[in-house]
Amino acid sequence: QFITKDGRRIDVEITATAFYDPVSGEFVRTRAFVRDITERKKLEGAIRESEEKYKNLFDNLTDSLFMLDTDGRVMAVNRKQEEVLGYLRDSIRGGDFPLILVEEDRRIFAELLERTREGVNPPTVEVEVINRDGDLLTMEMDIIGIRRNEKMDFLVIHLRDVTNQKALEEQLLKAERFNALNHFSSMLAHDLRNPIIGIRQRLKSLQGASPDVTNRVLTDIVTSSELLLGLINDVLDVYQNSYADLPLIFSSFPLIEAVDEAVKLLQIEAEDKKVQVNFHCCRDGSMEVYADKRRMKRVFINLLDNAIQYSDTGGRVNITCCHAEEKPGYLQFTIEDEGIGIPPERLPSIFEPLYKVGKQEIKRGTGLGLYFCKMIVDAHGGRVWAENRPDKGASFCVTLPAGEGSHAH
Ligand code: ADP
């Protein structure tokens, strides 16, 4: 300690350097650097003091706490920490805090520490902490910078053990997935069963039938099998891991061709329900798309199938194919029905997998149709969305990049 001229005591740190003269063999000069460390001392005192002050609170908290100096060295820990992580306060004091984190989390800690120093409150992060026995615990970590006089004084690290919670979440997720799969399998079984029963009945009716009837029945059977096959292909496509795994087979073809084929395939279904399907194309048939024809046809089948299913008996479905008005270079397919429509709050979620609007549809549909449509249209660089029509029913739109043979708008 120095005493200043005006009688104040200040804490100093002295570093002395001596210069040796090799010629005379003597120390010729000695230099002493005196640094005023009063502030630092005060700070250390305050830290000790606050440590005392917070000790009670500190020890009685149910989460693990570490008090660190601004370099990340441990100054104090609470009792809970000793229980959860097992580091005894005397052995860990003065040690580097990041050393109890796994290596990649040390980098994260360094970044967060930097942000705390800059006065930003960093977000809660999940880290892997190594306990005294070398086991890994998953913990949520908060870093709180305690400031005094605009300067960072010390840090409090708050760690919450979420290891059990994580294991529980994983189990829940598994159970949910299993449930979803269960639900999905029964839906799929149901969707497959009816057309197969239909096919069997038609085959039975062939016995002793006239050539005319036979021909019609055979055409029906081919159509039904094609729809079934399409359904199975959708499921296979949806269960690919990613778009990258989805082998799209591109070619240029008139959009109207794919739509036409879809309409033809669902003709019987529409007739059964007395739904009138109108198809209108804004131009001649030359509007070409560059797309995977089989899959685009499946998209149209799914949308038309829904439009028919959710229509009232005797309703109308209007399909139009035009150049997209708001998107030059794109074609737009729109399908409108006069059915039950979609509750507005559900509009954003109907494209999610296994989504079903109400319990009443529980008996039909896999809930994959729209998800499949979105997946395929996205993979083509297009967009699919749904709206409710002002008067009644829903409308679904698909935009797709126009192919080379298409006229610009
Ligand atoms: P699903 O196999 O159940 O038809 P989708 O993915 O095709 O599955 O559709 C998801 C949900 O969106 C349906 O269960 C239905 O509630 C709603 N939906 C789809 N299309 C229409 C439509 N044209 N009118 C009213 N609701 C529809």
Task: Give the HSE-up count for residue 172: Cα atoms under 13 Å, Cβ half-sphere.
Answer: 6
Cβ contact 54:75 at 8 Å: no
The beta strands (E) that lie in 89-150 are given as 125-130, 136-148
State which of 227, 269, 310 you would mutate to test the pocket of ligand 1, scoring each by most atoms of that ligand within 8 A of its C-beta.
310
CA of 182 to the centre of ligand 1 (A): 20
| Distance, C-alpha 114 to centroid of its chain | 28
CA of 271 to the centre of ligand 1 (A): 20
Residue written as token pair 């001392």: 41
- Nearest-10 Cα torsion for 159, 160, 164, 167: -80
List, in order, residues 6 or more apart from 353 with CB less than 8 Å away: 238, 367, 368, 371
Q: From edge to edge, which strands make up the β-sheet containing 276-281?
A: 276-281, 316-323, 330-337, 394-401, 383-388
The residue whose CA has the least distance to atom 25 of ligand 1 is 341
CA of 365 to the centre of ligand 1 (A): 8
Cβ contact 221:202 at 8 Å: yes
pLDDT of residue 363: 46
CA of 355 to the centre of ligand 1 (A): 8
Rounded CA-CA distance 309/257 in Å is 23
Cβ contact 319:276 at 8 Å: no
List, in order, residues 6 or more apart from 399 with CB less than 8 Å away: 324, 327, 330, 331, 332, 333, 382, 383, 384
State which of 318, 356, 375 you would mutate to test the pocket of ligand 1, scoring each by most atoms of that ligand within 8 A of its C-beta.
356
Rounded CA-CA distance 283/194 in Å is 38
The residue whose CA has the least distance to atom 11 of ligand 1 is 356
User: 73: closest CA among 39, 115, 109, 123?
Assistant: 109
The residue whose CA has the least distance to atom 13 of ligand 1 is 356
CA of 356 to the centre of ligand 1 (A): 7
CA of 74 to the centre of ligand 1 (A): 58
Distances 279 to 101, 206, 276, 319 between C-alpha atoms, Å: 64, 33, 10, 5
Cβ contact 81:87 at 8 Å: yes
pLDDT of residue 354: 65
The residue whose CA has the least distance to atom 21 of ligand 1 is 306
Q: List per-residue pLDDT tens for the chain, 409 residues long.
A: 889 899 988 888 888 878 778 888 887 777 788 888 887 788 777 777 776 766 677 777 778 989 999 889 999 888 888 889 999 988 999 999 999 999 999 999 999 999 998 888 888 899 999 999 999 999 999 998 988 877 888 899 999 998 888 888 888 888 777 777 777 777 777 778 877 888 898 899 888 889 999 998 998 899 888 888 888 888 777 776 566 667 788 999 999 999 998 998 888 889 989 999 999 988 766 789 999 998 899 899 999 999 999 999 999 999 999 988 888 889 999 999 999 999 998 888 888 876 555 544 444 566 778 988 998 899 899 999 999 999 899 999 999 998 875 544 3
State which of 184, 306, 337, 396 you would mutate to test the pocket of ligand 1, scoring each by most atoms of that ligand within 8 A of its C-beta.
306
User: 82: closest CA among 74, 25, 314?
Assistant: 74
Atom of ligand 1 nearest to the CA of 355: 10
| Distance, C-alpha 216 to centroid of its chain | 49
Helical packing angle, 293-309 and 369-379, nearest 10°? 150
Rounded CA-CA distance 159/172 in Å is 24
Q: Which residues line ligand 1 (CB under 6 A)?
A: 302, 306-307, 310, 337, 339-342, 350, 355-357, 361, 365-371, 394
